[in-house]
């Protein structure tokens, strides 16, 4: 296969087969026992599981596409829809809710013009609401990627969002 042809079409960006091979072959030895870890690695790379990548994966590890698809849809941690470069998790658990979590969500929604579960057209952010992320004493809390932002006020939302490209 030529260099130019070594991509699969995906809805957000082209998927480089060499990158997939690096994950599937080099990191996980084409071993179907590593399916979950392979899916995690693909999701880390693309922020979601592109369908062409799963189609490519199936024969590489000898697992039917339907089974891979079943695993990908079973675990809430996997997304089959394109997600933004930055994932905002707004906590709406009880502790954060009583401390104004809903107002924070509204401010994010107003600022980015996206609702829960949506991604900005430029692919910068995806907004997801969650129920408790384990630091209730810091409520209201938002998590952006791996960063926790606790005791956040509505007037601080813009400043926090501006930290992410
Ligand atoms: S309720 Fe928000 S972190 Fe626990």
Q: What is the mean pLDDT of each run of 10 residues along the chain (165 residues)?
A: 49 76 96 97 91 96 97 90 91 96 96 93 93 94 95 96 95
Helix 35-46 and helix 51-61, axial crossing angle in degrees, nearest 10: 150
Q: Which residue has the tokens 């809430």?
A: 76
Which numbered atom of ligand 1 lies nearest the CA of 140?
Answer: 2
Q: What's the 1 CA to ligand 1 centre distance in angstroms?
A: 50
DSSP class of residue 14 equals P
Which numbered atom of ligand 1 lies nearest the CA of 94?
Answer: 1
Domain 86-161: give its CATH superfamily.
Answer: Glutaredoxin (3.40.30.10)
Phi, psi of 34 (to 5 degrees): -95, 15
Q: What is the pLDDT of residue 47?
A: 84
Q: What is the pLDDT of residue 14?
A: 72
Q: What's the 127 CA to ligand 1 centre distance in angstroms?
A: 16
Give the Cα separation of 65 and 39 in Å (integer).
13
CATH number for the segment(s) 7-74: 1.10.10
- Enumerate the domain spans of the chain: 7-74, 86-161
Largest pairwise CA distance in the chain: 58
Q: What's the 41 CA to ligand 1 centre distance in angstroms?
A: 27
Give the Cα separation of 40 and 47 in Å (integer).
9
Q: What is the pLDDT of residue 59?
A: 97
Radius of gyration of the chain (CA): 18
Q: What is the pLDDT of residue 46?
A: 87
Instruction: Please tell me the pTM assigned to this model.
Output: 0.71
Q: What's the 93 CA to ligand 1 centre distance in angstroms?
A: 5
Lining residues, ligand 1, CB within 6 Å = 91, 93-96, 132-136, 139, 141
Is the four-CA dihedral 125, 129, 135, 139 of positive or negative sign?
positive
Q: Locate 100 and state its tokens.
A: 């104004």
Q: Are 60 and 23 in contact (CB under 8 A)?
A: no
Q: Which residue has the tokens 């599981």?
A: 49
CA 47 to chain centre: 4
Out of 90, 91, 102, mutate this one to test ligand 1's pocket (max ligand atoms within 8 Å of CB): namely: 91
Tell which residue, 100, 142, 103, 102, has the closest CA to residue 125: 142
Q: What's the 92 CA to ligand 1 centre distance in angstroms?
A: 7
Q: Are 100 and 94 in contact (CB under 8 A)?
A: no
Which numbered atom of ligand 1 lies nearest the CA of 138?
Answer: 3
């Amino acid at each position: 296969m030529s260099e130019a042809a070594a991509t699969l079409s995906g809805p957000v960006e082209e998927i480089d087969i060499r990158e997939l091979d690096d994950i599937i072959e080099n990191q996980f030895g084409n071993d179907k026992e590593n399916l979950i870890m392979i899916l995690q690695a693909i999701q880390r790379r693309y922020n979601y599981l592109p369908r062409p990548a799963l189609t490519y994966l199936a024969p590489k590890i000898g697992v039917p596409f339907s089974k891979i698809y079943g695993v990908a849809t079973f675990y809430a941690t996997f997304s089959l829809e394109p997600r933004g470069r930055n994932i905002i998790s707004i906590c709406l658990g009880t502790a954060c809710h009583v401390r104004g979590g809903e107002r924070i969500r509204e401010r994010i929604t107003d600022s980015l013009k996206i609702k829960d579960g949506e991604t900005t057209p430029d692919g910068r952010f995806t907004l997801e609401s969650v129920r408790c992320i384990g630091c209730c004493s810091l409520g209201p809390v938002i998590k952006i990627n791996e960063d926790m932002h606790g005791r956040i006020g509505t007037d601080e939302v813009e400043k926090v969002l501006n930290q992410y490209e």
